[in-house]
């Protein structure tokens, strides 16, 4: 009896796997999905193609006073066996606010998806980690409105940057233009100086290798202006910022729509998830000034040459 039951169980499992392997594909996960119960604060999931049989997962969820874009990340696909080509689940880790959210999606009944969501909060938030699960159904929902996410955010913007209160004021930008084609490197005492004609653009006590790397970056991205707001230094190409078409070493990746200002201890910081984009010490206004630039130009990379005292810090915008 036990032997017969074991044979039947194995046969059923084999049938299920064989049937699934014939039909399961990464494209079965594509689309817009809704969580009808709002379990775990999760409202919507959008799965889009990323090329070469890859997909991206974007999460939307609870964020006072409404729904927020929690961010988008590439997903990993899982097969029922090595080399099977039958994708039975996808998983992505999304960083947002003060939490990391690991979501796993699998095919469900009646054309839906099943999900499991594990939420881990950063230390010091006073919140307890948790995990939930449920079902997602297809939806015609098209995303958070542009009036919330494409306009300047409020000074009291919460997680995800939902616009509330006063609008952020972009700080004045003081820039010095130079010709990147005339860059020269010279030694001055114990320091290295990068200059264009009579305009000095970098002076560093670091070694020659660091200085030459800075010259290479300036030429690579076509920077022709060195700017500052009084508290923040940045480099521009014409009136804007180059896109991250060739990601460099030592770059911090973040998302402009979910970056926000927060007071942690006594310091005001611009953060995205647990990534510290900028630390403006005790100045709330300076933190919001940095956030205003990030939002205005859609900056999504902060890069540094030399560490811990960078010879050059530059920002790159999101790819179009």
pLDDT in tens, 10-68: 444 444 444 333 345 788 899 899 999 999 999 999 998 877 678 889 898 887 667 88
Residues facing residue 163 across a β-bridge? none
> Of the ranges 19-23, 31-35, 101-105, 223-227, which one carries the lowest mean pLDDT score?
19-23
The verdict on residue 160 lying in a domain is: no
CATH of the domain at 68: 2.40.128
Give the mean pLDDT of 144-172.
45
150 part of a folded domain:
no
Average pLDDT over residues 149-153: 32
pLDDT above 80: residue 211: yes
Residues 138 and 194 in one domain: no
Domain assignment present for residue 76? The answer is yes
Q: What is the mean pLDDT of the chain?
A: 78
Considering 33-47, 264-278, 295-309, the range whose residues carry the highest mean pLDDT is: 33-47
Query: Are 136 and 181 within one domain?
Result: no
What is the structure's pLDDT at 225?
95
188, 134: one domain: no
pLDDT of residue 18: 41
- Whether 185 and 287 map to the same domain: the answer is yes
Same domain membership, residue 287 and residue 231: yes
Between the ranges 17-21, 76-80, 176-180, where is the mean pLDDT highest?
176-180
Q: 58 and 191: one domain?
A: no
Residue where a domain stops, chosen among 144, 165, 189: 144
Which of these three, 99, 122, 144, is where a domain ends?
144
Does residue 165 lie within any of the structural domains? no
Per the structure, the count of domains in the chain is: 2
* Torsion of the alpha carbons at 288, 292, 295 and 297, rounded to the nearest 10: -140
What is the distance between the alpha carbons of residues 314 and 51, in angstroms, rounded to a whole number? 29
> Are the C-beta atoms of residues 300 and 221 closer than 8 Å to each other?
no
Q: ω before 65 within 30° of 0 (cis)? A: yes
Same domain, 247 and 305: yes
Q: Determine whether 80 is exposed, middle or buried from the number of CB atoms within 10 Å of its CB (0-12, 13-18, 19+).
A: middle
Q: Are residues 274 and 223 in the same domain?
A: yes
Owning domain of residue 28: 24-144
Has residue 295 been placed in a domain?
A: yes
For residue 234, pLDDT over 70 is answered with yes
Same domain for 140 and 43: yes
Report the pLDDT value the prediction gives residue 158, as an integer from 0 to 100.
Answer: 39
Mean pLDDT of the 248-252 span: 71
Within a domain: 108: yes
């Amino acid at each position: 009896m036990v032997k017969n039951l074991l044979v039947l169980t194995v046969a059923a499992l084999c049938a299920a796997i064989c049937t699934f392997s014939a039909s399961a594909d990464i494209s079965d996960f594509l689309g817009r999905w809704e969580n009808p119960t709002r379990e775990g604060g999760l409202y919507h999931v959008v799965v889009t193609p990323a090329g070469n049989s890859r997909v991206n997962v974007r999460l939307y969820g609870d964020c006072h006073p409404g729904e927020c874009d929690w961010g988008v990340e590439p997903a990993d696909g899982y097969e029922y066996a090595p080399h099977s080509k039958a994708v039975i689940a996808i998983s992505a880790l999304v960083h947002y606010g003060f939490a990391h959210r690991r979501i796993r999606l699998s095919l469900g009944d009646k054309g839906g998806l099943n999900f499991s969501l594990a939420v881990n909060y950063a230390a010091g938030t006073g919140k307890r980690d948790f995990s939930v699960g449920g079902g997602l159904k297809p939806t015609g929902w098209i995303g958070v409105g542009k009036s919330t996410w494409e306009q300047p955010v409020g000074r009291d913007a919460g997680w995800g940057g939902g616009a509330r209160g006063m609008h952020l004021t972009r700080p004045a930008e003081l820039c010095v233009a130079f010709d990147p084609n005339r860059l020269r490197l010279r030694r001055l005492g114990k320091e290295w100086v990068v200059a264009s004609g009579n305009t000095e653009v970098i002076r560093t006590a670091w070694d020659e290798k660091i200085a030459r790397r800075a010259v290479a970056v300036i030429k690579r991205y076509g920077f022709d202006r060195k700017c500052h707001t009084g508290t923040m230094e940045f480099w521009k190409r014409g009136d804007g910022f180059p896109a991250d078409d060739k990601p460099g070493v030592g770059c911090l990746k973040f998302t402009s729509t979910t970056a926000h200002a927060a007071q942690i201890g006594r310091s005001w910081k611009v953060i995205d998830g647990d990534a510290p984009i900028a630390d403006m010490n005790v100045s709330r206004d300076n933190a919001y000034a940095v956030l205003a630039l990030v939002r205005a130009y859609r900056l999504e990379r902060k890069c540094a040459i030399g560490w811990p005292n960078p010879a050059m810090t530059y920002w790159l915008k999101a790819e179009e």
